[in-house]
Amino acid sequence: RKLPPGWYTKQMEKFAKEGKIDRAIDVLQVIMLKNDRIRPLPTHYYTLISLISKTGDTRKAFGFYKKMRDFGYEPIPQVFTALFNACSKSIYGKEDGFQRATKLIYTMKANNITPTQITFNAMIKTFGCLGQTEIALHLADQSFKLYKPDDKTFANILMAAAGDEKNGFSLAIGNIPNTGDQIQSRSNQTQAELCLIDAVSSSQQDTSVSSTEANRLTVHPPTANSSQVRNNEFPDVLKPGEILLRVLNMHAVQNKYVRLDMLGGVSGFLARMKIDGITPNVAVFGQLFDIVDTLQEEDYLFSMMEELGISPDIDIISHAMLKRTRRMQPEQAKKLVHLMEEKGIQPNIFIFKYLNYIMCKDGDTMRQFLDDLLANELPLTVHLMDGLMRNTHLTLEDKKYILQLMEQQDIHPTTYFLETLHKVLSVTRERIIVQKEKDIHVPDEEKMFSDFNKFMEEWLKRVPLKK
């Protein structure tokens, strides 16, 4: 029975929503091309590239972009937008995102493709997130020549300005009056929302902007400590006509908490939105979670989201989990797993990575961790297995178990995983050599190394590389 084209698209979206991006890919590569032997339509590639891009896996996203071109399909603007968004959060690092985003711009230029305003906004955001402020602002200039800037344009410009380590905060605040004519033309609600979201963006970076002795002046007495500073009543830089009598030099605002306080603090910030008749959405809460760094503030934001009936997304959860892990609050980090279960949120690769760090302290806890994932029908991915393989708490025997589980669950290694595997062997080999040079004999470790090496060679013959 021939299935309608839309069925395949819906299956991709279904698997992606469940966090099973590999299954979404299989819809095209296995079900369509191999099983049903039908030629994918452009919309199938557009959908799959967009879904992969949301995970930040630039290698896969650009890989399918190339396959789409090989099929003779031309990309639509949404594809370019998705690819730039993937570059902004590449799981392979900022350099990877920068190189791919730069090359993509050259590709568009070579093919005389003019970006839409939505694509321009994605480009500005991408280079801002990657710390390339000058490029981001240059792209904004190009966008202004073609399109009237919208709210997202302003938000992305100020976010990019905040990435400037020398002039971030002052540049971001300075951008608001410079674009006053456009802002004044909007409704009061749009004005308030724009200023609030943009100001949050400008607060994200811990920028240091003083370049001369004059710029070392502070906005508070030199004797005040950080706790005193945060309890002071700060002027509100977002309030129209506010006279900043106590501010000696805006360039000297170096602490992100001080900057947030100058925007009203977390509670004041949300109270300000309420006064203006604006209900914050999940994107606003996401920006606030980026800034705050205490458990109390995080809990307050979660409680406010609950009160407003707003469910946190996976980005908010993973960001909060990372911060709790860094603050050595493992029990608080684990509570976020229960929140995910309660809200029906599927974990991403970052959640698995943090849980691996928190929970897998030896072979027993690792096995329990994996058993729990399987019992709850959570997807085991090659990214998760790569993180476990890198875990220094685990022995080679534990890592042999990882390979066995991958074979049982039909999880195929990537070239990246193989690099990790060989690095594990290399580090172990070097450690044994060093111990021998010190006349320290470690027969058990040598045997374990030999057994693991032999098992891996046979395992590689049975488990093919992921395509």
Report the sign of the C-alpha dihedral through residues 365, 461, 386, 55, in that order: negative
Inside any domain, residue 283: no
Cβ count near 97 (within 10 Å)? 24
Q: Is residue 190 part of a domain?
A: yes
Torsion over CA: 452, 455, 460, 462 (sign): negative
382 and 268 housed in the same domain: no
Indicate if 54 and 119 belong to the same structural domain. Answer: yes
Residue 1 in domain:
yes
> If you write DSSP's letter for every residue of 74-88 in order, what string do you get?
PPPHHHHHHHHHHHH
Distant-in-sequence, close-in-space partners of 17: CB < 8 Å, separation ≥ 6: 346
* pTM of structure: 0.47
456 within some domain: yes
> What is the spatial distance between Cα 289 and Cα 160, in angstroms, rounded to a whole number?
18
DSSP state of 220: S
CB contact at 8 A, 77 and 118? yes
Can you read off the two tokens belonging to residue 57?
Answer: 């896996």
Whole-angstrom distance, CA of residue 430 vs CA of residue 143: 54
**pLDDT tens per residue across all 467 residues of the chain:** 578 888 999 999 998 888 889 999 999 999 998 888 888 999 999 999 999 999 999 999 999 999 999 888 989 999 999 999 999 999 998 999 999 999 999 999 888 899 999 999 999 999 988 888 888 888 888 888 888 877 677 777 766 766 555 555 545 444 443 444 443 333 333 333 333 333 333 433 433 333 332 232 222 233 333 333 344 455 555 554 444 444 445 455 555 556 666 666 778 778 877 877 778 888 888 878 877 878 888 999 999 999 999 999 988 998 888 888 777 787 888 888 888 888 888 777 677 777 777 777 888 888 888 887 787 677 778 888 888 888 878 899 999 999 999 999 999 998 889 999 999 999 999 888 888 888 888 888 889 999 999 999 999 999 988 76
Same-domain status, 162 and 271: yes
Specify whether 305 is located in the same domain as 185: no
Q: Are 417 and 349 in contact (CB under 8 A)?
A: no
Do residue 187 and residue 108 come from a single domain? Answer: no
Q: Which residues contact 183 (CB under 8 A, 6 or more apart)?
A: 154, 176, 191, 194, 195
Structural domain boundaries, residue 22 = 1-130
Q: Rounded CA gap, 273 and 261, in Å?
A: 15
Same domain, yes or no, for 382 and 431? yes
Position 157, amino acid: I
d(CA 222, CA 264): 22
The position carrying tokens 């991408």 is: 126
- Tokens representing residue 457 in the block: 């060679």
Residue type for 68, please?
M
- Is 141 domain-assigned? no
The residue whose two tokens read 């098992």 is 455
Measured CA to CA, the distance from residue 43 to residue 452 in angstroms comes to 45
Instruction: Report residue 378 CA to chain centroid gap.
Output: 20
The residue written with tokens 């200023």 in the block is: 195
Same domain assignment for residues 409 and 382: yes
Instruction: Indicate whether 390 and 456 sit together in one domain.
Output: yes
Are 338 and 365 part of one and the same domain? no
The most distant pair of C-alpha atoms in the chain lies apart, rounded to whole Å, by 79
Q: Are residues 246 and 266 in the same domain?
A: yes
